[in-house]
């Protein structure tokens, strides 16, 4: 319970009531239904028309699927998401040999979410036996057995799979990383048309799915800015031909004020164009120090700051190569969101 409470605090969830789990899955669900039925004064929820039962181990359920099972439950009394079977299902005999195999096309895997008219599923749980509560696994089966309610089966999305094995944790991590890495917001003072900038954007678009550009948009806290800060977990802040970090500092303080980084780490790459022939090396070192200091500070708020120096060459082909390399580095930093690279000054 304490772990759940700390999650609720950390992610600032509202409209939530915690109910003690039972020793089995079905007893836990029954406890939840009882809490809803009793309309307790300290319970923020009251008896609903429809309840959704879902597994926390299926973290990627889409709103669309939730809506579908609720609508189907209103019409049929019960509904559940299903998926095609990936493997053939077989029945072993007592000696561990094949007895028979099922015709795969005639069966489905029963998944979550499932939705029920509250009265149907509550009645089913009130009537079901201790054996059901101990060993049963299927709520749809209880609705059928005790209320004669035939659940409507709704096709679920592939993302409904269950985090069961260690490998599923990798998958979950990769899916989250991909989702939050699809969109990069490029913040800059200068106009997009400027030669090297337009090429950098093109190179970034080749590396990433969505690249949004906000030109000077951080000067005021308008609607656009708000929108970006609510949606985007990756930023490249371009400081063109300047060693000033004004833009990056402004972005960092806006990110610190927003709640964006509560859920996932936010990556900010501070991009600087330098002509290595003109800028003395000591200045690079200063940049490094600046980045390291600020990175340490904002890391506490789950913001991962890195610097990227792009060597500004007069030779056009060389410049394009450098910009392509810069885009590859930005994409790698965004995709991996690794604490190991925080405060580093990379060179394209």
Q: Which positions from 262 through 321 interact with its own copies, judged by CB under 8 A?
A: 281-282, 285, 288, 292
Nearest-angstrom CA–CA distance, 285 and 92: 69
Say if CB 284 and CB 243 are below 8 A apart: no
Q: What Å distances lie between residue 20 and 10, 28, 68, CA to CA?
A: 20, 7, 29
In whole angstroms, the minimum distance from the beta carbon of 112 to its own copies comes to 9
Provide the angle, in degrees to the nearest 10, between the axes of the packed helices 246-257 and 223-231: 70
Considering the rule CB under 8 A, would residue 156 count as an interface residue with its own copies?
Answer: no
In whole angstroms, the minimum distance from the beta carbon of 320 to its own copies comes to 17
Nearer to its own copies by C-beta: 40 or 344?
344
Nearest-angstrom CA–CA distance, 121 and 123: 5
Span from 43-51, 133-141, 234-242, 312-320 in contact with its own copies (CB under 8 A): 133-141
Considering the rule CB under 8 A, would residue 7 count as an interface residue with its own copies?
Answer: no
Q: Under rule CB under 8 A, which residues in 159-188 are in contact with its own copies?
A: 159, 161-162, 164-168, 170-171, 173-175, 178
Say if CB 309 and CB 322 are below 8 A apart: no
Vertex 261, ends 256 and 262: CA angle to 5°? 110
Provide the angle, in degrees to the nearest 10, between the axes of the packed helices 139-147 and 118-127: 80
The residue with tokens 């036996």 is 129
Q: By three-state DSSP, how is residue 215 classified?
A: strand
Provide the angle, in degrees to the nearest 10, between the axes of the packed helices 25-38 and 139-147: 60
Task: Residue 86: count other Cβ atoms within 10 Å of its Cβ.
Answer: 8
In whole angstroms, the minimum distance from the beta carbon of 194 to its own copies comes to 24
For 303, list phi and psi in degrees, rounded to 5. -110, 125
In whole angstroms, the minimum distance from the beta carbon of 234 to its own copies comes to 14
Per-residue mark of binding to its own copies, 217-256 (x: CB under 8 A): ----------------------------------------
For 126, list phi and psi in degrees, rounded to 5. -65, -30
Considering the rule CB under 8 A, would residue 131 count as an interface residue with its own copies?
Answer: no
**Residue selected from 25, 83, 212, 250 as contacting its own copies according to rule CB under 8 A:** 83
Number of residues that bind its own copies (CB under 8 A): 72
Nearer to its own copies by C-beta: 111 or 125?
111
Nearest-angstrom CA–CA distance, 184 and 162: 30
**Residue selected from 88, 209, 226, 253 as contacting its own copies according to rule CB under 8 A:** 88
In whole angstroms, the minimum distance from the beta carbon of 262 to its own copies comes to 23
Per-residue mark of binding to its own copies, 90-129 (x: CB under 8 A): xxxx--xxxxxxx-x-xxxxxx------------------
Per-residue mark of binding to its own copies, 61-80 (x: CB under 8 A): ---------------x-x-x
């Amino acid at each position: 319970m304490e772990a759940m409470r700390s999650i609720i605090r950390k992610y600032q969830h509202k409209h939530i009531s915690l109910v003690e789990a039972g020793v089995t899955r079905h007893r836990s669900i029954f406890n939840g239904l009882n809490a809803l039925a009793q309309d307790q004064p300290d319970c923020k929820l009251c008896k609903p028309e429809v309840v959704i039962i879902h597994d926390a181990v299926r973290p990627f359920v889409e709103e669309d699927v939730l809506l579908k099972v609720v609508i189907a439950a209103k019409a049929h009394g019960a509904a559940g998401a299903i998926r095609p079977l990936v493997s053939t299902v077989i029945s072993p005999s007592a000696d561990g040999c094949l007895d028979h195999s099922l015709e795969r096309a005639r069966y489905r895997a029963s998944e979550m979410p499932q939705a029920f008219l509250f009265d149907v599923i509550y009645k089913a749980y009130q009537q079901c036996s201790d054996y059901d509560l101990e060993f049963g696994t299927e709520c749809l089966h209880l609705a059928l057995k005790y209320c004669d309610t035939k659940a409507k089966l709704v096709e679920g999305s592939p993302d409904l799979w269950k985090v069961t094995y260690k490998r599923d944790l990798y998958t979950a991590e990769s899916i989250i990383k991909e989702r939050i890495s699809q969109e990069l917001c490029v913040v800059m003072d200068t106009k997009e048309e400027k030669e090297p900038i337009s090429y950098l954007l093109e190179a970034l678009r080749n590396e990433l799915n969505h690249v949004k550009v906000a030109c000077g948009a951080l000067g005021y806290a308008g609607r656009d800015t708000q929108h970006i800060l609510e949606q985007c977990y990756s930023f490249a802040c371009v400081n063109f031909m300047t060693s000033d970090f004004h833009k990056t500092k402004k972005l960092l303080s806006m990110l610190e004020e927003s709640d964006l980084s509560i859920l996932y780490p936010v990556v900010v790459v501070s991009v600087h164009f330098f002509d290595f022939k003109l800028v003395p090396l000591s200045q690079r070192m200063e940049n490094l120090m600046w980045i390291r200091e600020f990175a340490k500070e904002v890391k506490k708020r789950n913001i991962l700051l890195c610097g990227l120096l792009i060597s500004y060459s007069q030779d056009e082909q060389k410049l394009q190569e450098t910009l392509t390399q810069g885009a590859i580095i930005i994409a790698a930093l965004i995709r991996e969101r690794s604490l190991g690279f925080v405060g580093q000054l990379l060179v394209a």
